[in-house]
Amino acid sequence: MHMRKLARSGSLHRFTRRTAAALIAAAITLSTSAAAFAADAIVLRVGDQKGGNRSLLEISGFAKDLPYKIEWSEFPAAAPILEALNAGALDVGYTGDLAFLSVYAAGAPIKAIGGTRADPKTQAILVRADSPIRTAADLKGKRLAGTRGGWGQFLIDATLEKAGNKIEDATFAPLGPVDAKIALVAGSIDAWAVWEPYVSFATLKDKARVVADGEGLTPTVTFIVASDNAIATKRAAVQDLVQRLNKARLWSLDHLAEYARSTAELTKLPEDVLLAAYTAQKTSPIAIDEAVVKEVQAASDRATRYGILGKTLDVGKAVDRSFTASASLN
């Protein structure tokens, strides 16, 4: 498969396979000795969405010889993962940037410590095949569903604004992916803002149509998030997990079919849906550097203007750069 570049909007540089490899190569070297991890005692409680990270580690081989134990929990979206992190029931989770910031803003003891970026087109607003809605401008006056405080609500507001409408010109229905899918099929909402693999499932299986996407509107950054307590008490294990996930992501770019097959077996989701989702996303690891902080800060400020975030945040204080600080992005 060709060398891939990770697209960024504006003046932000492109994140290439070479720099992704540098991220891995320059990561902090950690001992895997029993003394470093106390393998019998260290357990990382990790929240996953649609089995993606668990499958990724297992099929890539990076789940072998773990010097600690992982207890996986699967969730349908970011919100319950973040609730569990805030409650101390999880050590590490994988969530969208704005969903993370919404919970961080409320005082949750968590930090973003790593992450990935996907193609922004894989955040999309969907309508039923028989819907009269054809363009983003047609969303005015409609009932639009999405996750509150995360990508769904942000994409709806940003899309309305881009089309020359006001946020108030449509009705926002705060629904999680499972309920929103049912509502769209039933016709009780007019459109649904969501991400992969829900986009591919809806378009392939339910014949939904995409009327708008996140290109130019969202960073499409997904953060690896850890509790402050896990960072303080399980740092070596958390660091090792971040490194393994980054390596596995790079591996997946050349093994999308294997990754999709493994995730399908784990989650019982259709393999063709997952392959379509992974192919579209082109998900690659990122280092949390100044450019990423600046980009997410801009999205955070926009979310505050929309009323999604209740106050202006300093994104730099919401992240812990030390887990990827050694990486070169030149």
Q: Is residue 108 a part of any domain in this protein?
A: yes
Calculate helix-pair angle for 271-281, 198-205, nearest 10 degrees. Answer: 130
Closest CA to 225 of 238, 244, 243: 238
What is the total count of domains within the chain?
Answer: 2
In a domain, 267, yes or no: yes
Residue with token string 């591996």: 251
Is 101 a member of any domain? yes
Q: Are residue 26 and residue 51 in the same domain, yes or no?
A: yes
Q: Do residues 165 and 192 share a domain?
A: yes
Q: Is residue 49 part of a domain?
A: yes
Examine the domain organization and report whether 279 and 318 are in the same domain: yes
Distance between terminal CA atoms of the chain? 23
| pLDDT on residue 168 | 95
Q: What is the pTM of this model?
A: 0.84
Range of the domain at 33: 5-119+220-323
Q: Let me know if 67 is exposed, middle or buried by CB neighbors in 10 A (0-12, 13-18, 19+).
A: middle
> Rounded distance, CA 321 to CA 290, Å?
9
Is the same domain home to 47 and 62? yes
Residue 35: per-residue pLDDT: 41
Note whether 115 and 143 are within 8 A (CB): no
Of 111, 99, 94, nearest in space to 54 by CA: 94
pLDDT at 50: 85
113 lies in the same domain as 139 = no
Question: 115 with 224, same domain?
Answer: yes
User: Does a structural domain hold residue 157?
Assistant: yes
Indicate whether 55 and 82 sit together in one domain. yes
Last residue of a domain, one of 181, 213, 245: 213
Same domain, 252 and 192: no
pLDDT mean for each 10 residues of the chain (330 residues): 35 40 40 44 93 93 96 91 96 95 95 97 97 97 96 96 96 96 96 96 97 96 97 97 97 96 94 97 96 96 96 97 65
The Cα 324–Cα 27 span in angstroms is 6
Which helix H or strand E contains 171, and what residues bound it? strand 171-174
CATH number at residue 131: 3.40.190.10
pLDDT at 311: 94
Residue 328 lies in a domain: no
Any domain includes 330: no
pLDDT of residue 175: 96
Last residue of a domain, one of 157, 188, 213: 213
107 and 127 part of one domain:
no
Q: For position 326, what pLDDT does the model report?
A: 55
Kindly state whether residues 84 and 150 are assigned to the same domain: no
pLDDT at residue number 30: 36
Same domain, 178 and 256: no
Co-location of 179 and 106 in the same domain: no
Residue ending a domain, choose from 213, 243, 260: 213
